Amino acid sequence: MAAPPRHATMLSISNGDKPAQTQAQSQQGTLPQSPGLRVPSNRKTIYDRHLNRSRNAESSRASFAFLFGEMVTYAQRRVTGIQDLEKRLNEQGYPLGLRLLDLLFYRSTSTSSSALSSSSTSSSPPNRPLRIITLLHLIHGPLWRLLFGRAADALEHSVSPDTPNEYMITDNDPLVNTYISVPREMSMLNCAAFVAGIIEGVCDGCGFETKVSAHNQPTDLWPSRTVFLVRFGDAVMEREKVLERSGVK
């Protein structure tokens, strides 16, 4: 058991309404689930901070570029090949997608000028996406705006009858690739695999089992144009049919 004085200082709960009680508890050691809770010196835990800080608290593009550069370098350690590297980048993005989903909905419910364009009524909270199209619109618009400050450039459905489960989201100039030049011997690599992981996390979080991959589709005007190929699982497609029949929007 930790020494009481140290414990007592660490366990200061920022809410402040019951300091005496928590102190008493900590001295008896009755809070075993929080042995190492440390409160910052200004006594502001993450629970005391606001989640709506997007307006004037944007992070610097340069610091993001350096951070992302290091993430790519980190992912590159001991990889067996380009696919392995893309998989690692994807895995780095995936948990971010899960988190962003909750944050995105929180921000659009709390701010009446809703960030979700689909909801016409400003005050009512947005709906969870139930159908593929709603989900893809959520990614194409609000999610892209939350991450990159603008909507994605295109959203398409596969024209091939063999692959009705494939959708494509296009970004003409992905922010993550702005400063990246991929060496010629790795020309298949697209570091936006990280963003693909984010999309995958968002889809999975909403209950749409998906595989997302990022592909280079350069044009003369947009040399780093990237297409995110979203492939939904069979279970999702089956459910989609059921929902369509029962008229769920």
List of residues contacting other proteins (CB under 8 A)? 11, 13-15, 17-18, 22, 31, 33-34, 37, 45-47, 49, 51, 62, 65-66, 68-73, 76, 95, 98-99, 101-106, 109-110, 125, 127-130, 178-184, 186, 191, 205-207, 223-224, 239, 243, 246, 248-249
- Which residue's CB is nearer to other proteins, number 156 or number 244? 244
The whole-angstrom separation of Cα 209 and Cα 80 is 27
Alpha-carbon torsion angle 195, 197, 203, 206, nearest 10 = -110
**Are 170 and 226 in contact, with CB atoms under 8 Å apart?**
yes
Q: Give the residue from 203, 199, 194, 229 showing the smallest Cα distance to 215.
A: 229
Q: How far is the CB of 153 from other proteins (least distance, A)?
A: 19
Q: How far is the CB of 185 from other proteins (least distance, A)?
A: 10
- Which residue's CB is nearer to other proteins, number 134 or number 158? 134
Q: How far is the CB of 136 from other proteins (least distance, A)?
A: 15
- Which residue's CB is nearer to other proteins, number 162 or number 220? 220
- Which residue's CB is nearer to other proteins, number 110 or number 163? 110
CB atoms under 10 Å from CB of 188, counted, come to 12
Q: How far is the CB of 155 from other proteins (least distance, A)?
A: 19
The whole-angstrom separation of Cα 171 and Cα 64 is 18
Q: Give the residue from 188, 209, 187, 186 showing the smallest Cα distance to 199.
A: 209
Coil, strand or helix: which one is 216? Answer: strand
Q: How far is the CB of 183 from other proteins (least distance, A)?
A: 5
- Which residue's CB is nearer to other proteins, number 163 or number 187? 187
Q: Give the residue from 249, 246, 238, 170 showing the smallest Cα distance to 208.
A: 238
